[in-house]
Amino acid sequence: MQKETASSKELLPHLFRLEYTKMTAVLCRHFGLKHIEAAEDIVSETFLKASEVWGINGVPENPTAWLYTVAKNKTKDYLKHLTVFETRVKDAIQTDELQAEHDFEFNHQTISDSQLAMIFAVCNPANATEAQICLALQVLCGFSVAEIADAFLTKTETIKKRLFRARTNLRNDNFQIGELQEQAIQSRLDTVLSTLYLLFNEGYSSRSNNHLIRKDLCSEAIRLVLMLAENPLTSTTDANALLALMCFQSSRFDARATNDGEIILFEEQDKTLWNQELIDKGNYYLINACSGNQISKYHLEAGIAYWHTTPTDDHQWEHILLLYNQLILIEYSPVTALNRTFAFAKVYGNEQGIAEAEKLNLTQLNHYHCLLGYLYAGTNPAKAIGHYQQAIKLTKSPSEKRTLTKQIEKLTILPGR
């Protein structure tokens, strides 16, 4: 029976984002990573057939099951074409790289295990950090080259080259898409968490003006870390802390920017837009993360994000500053130093905050000038404007430029100017 009301044009993109990566992971488990392109071709052909058949006959009663059935049949057909198999695969692989045909199955456990293993395969230390993120977006999240280029504000040709090199390393790696072994988990878990952390930040602090892409990046990062947190082999305190951080940060996503992508300062955010369900989930995973004795940067950042979602506490900024003081000792970065200085100013006042910021002397960073512009705004509008103008010169984000321009306009019309 067909669903007459469903539109294949509306449903297929949604199913593609949800199921494409799952199918690819299972097929890579079957073929081996050396033949990831063959796996992707089979899945792409499955969705192409769906667009043709569903456009004529309508959407089937269970569209997801239909896709998996077609993908499974196409895989069997692929293996039956011996001439293709002989010329493209057999000579290049070991005899045990392909599993027996009767072992091939799409089921919940296989999909879950394959996806988890694929995360560890993609987060290959042989690849540069940006290449890992690009590969994660394409292989684990189903993003197109154009979408990845949009997220990075980079030319598509640059992304293609980056992906080509990363895929070559992926194919040459001996990592197996099968049951994860403890040794593989221990050797790569830190890299996996770091890649997914950066993937989330690319969405949360993205320079892209595409609001949908930015939100999708955060959602995909959460989905992948959730897989780690739900699996006993990978549900470490660090993984739970990272998931808590992502939940807290995502809870304020809709309040952080206007529909046009302009940034809304924390004090000006509409708190009714905060997602309480995500805040509650963040609390849950943060409690799980505190079951051990070790504290990572993810624990400290999750704690900072927690206090940002608890704005009624009179000592909120003191708590945040204390956590930043610990964080900067574990892992220094210019962004952490600037964020700590903002918290410092909230506790000790803007004048001392300015002195603390100027010690950093991070004059080549737009966020440095954004911070000083904010801190000078109440006492020295001229200096504030100068810093905002410098920040505009240093940023590549169109939305950030508009936001800073508005701040300048507000200062320009102040009484006495």
pLDDT (0 to 100) of residue 85: 52
Extract the residue ranges of the chain whose pLDDT is less than 50. Answer: 1-6, 82-83, 94-102
Q: What pLDDT is attached to residue 34?
A: 82
Q: Which of 340, 316, 313 lies closest to 326, judged by CA?
A: 340
How far is residue 125's CA from residue 122's CA, in Å, rounded to a whole number? Answer: 9
Strand, coil or helix: what is 59?
A: strand
Model's pTM, two decimal places? 0.82
Domain boundaries, the chain: 1-106, 317-417
Classify 114 as helix, strand or coil: helix
Place of tokens 């940034």: 263
And the tokens for 109?
């456990």
φ/ψ of 263, rounded to 5, equals -70, 135
**Quick one: 317-417 is in which CATH superfamily?**
Tetratricopeptide repeat domain (1.25.40.10)
Q: What is the DSSP letter of 180?
A: P
Angle at 44 between CA 43 and CA 48, to 5 degrees: 120
* Closest of 375, 335, 336 to residue 355, by C-alpha: 375
Distance CA 19, CA 269 (A): 35
